[in-house]
Structure 1
Amino acid sequence: MNSERWVRAIAGIFILLSVILGAPASPAFVSQWFLAVTLFVGLNLLQSGFTCFCPLERILIAAGVRDARVCGR
């Protein structure tokens, strides 16, 4: 998998886990503050769409994951 696919997968995992842990109707509810993680990931994905800068992608590329070569790079 390339870096873009890893970013999408990791973002999806974080969003699912934070909703499961932060939604009051969930059987695994811990605190509504977990929804802040959902907000953070969503905002990061949004700004990444406009600026083509994603901190997680930079970390993954530095760790040796193949670069997706998107956004005109």
Structure 2
Amino acid sequence: MTVDRAVLAFAGVMVLISVLLTTFVSPLFIWFTVFIGLNMFQSAFTGLCPAAMVFRKLGLKGDCATNP
């Protein structure tokens, strides 16, 4: 698995968890979903993604363009 795919999978899981928490625990967990969305948005423009940094340190390969 590449870093790109790991980040996408992680973001998807976190969004699903935040939706479940919002639905079943407290509506205030919607702010968790907002945080995830803002992080994804800023990452698209800055290239800075904390999750990608963590996955690289865990030993995952680079993105698809550099490591097919």
Equivalent residue, structure 2, for 1:52: 47
For the residues of structure 2 that align with 1:45 and 1:5, how far apart are their CA atoms? 14
TM-score with structure 2 setting the length: 0.86
SS of equivalent residue, structure 1 residue 66 = coil
More helix by share: 2
For the residues of structure 1 that align with 2:9 and 2:56, how far apart are their CA atoms? 15
% identical aligned pairs? 40
User: What stretches of structure 1 of length at least 5 have no aligned partner?
Assistant: 24-28
What is the root-mean-square deviation in Å for CA atoms of aligned residues?
A: 1.3
SS of equivalent residue, structure 1 residue 68 = coil
AA matched with 1:11: A
If asked which structure has higher relative contact order (CA below 8 Å, sep 6+), I would say 2
Equivalent residue, structure 2, for 1:13: 13
Q: How many Å apart are 1:33 and its aligned residue?
A: 2.1
User: What stretches of structure 2 of length at least 5 have no aligned partner?
Assistant: none
Q: How many Å apart are 1:2 and its aligned residue?
A: 0.4
Q: Is the 8 A contact 2:2 2:64 kept in 1?
A: no
Q: How many Å apart are 1:32 and its aligned residue?
A: 1.4
* 4+ aligned runs moved over 2 Å, structure 1: none
TM-score with structure 1 setting the length: 0.81
For the residues of structure 2 that align with 1:60 and 1:14, how far apart are their CA atoms? 15
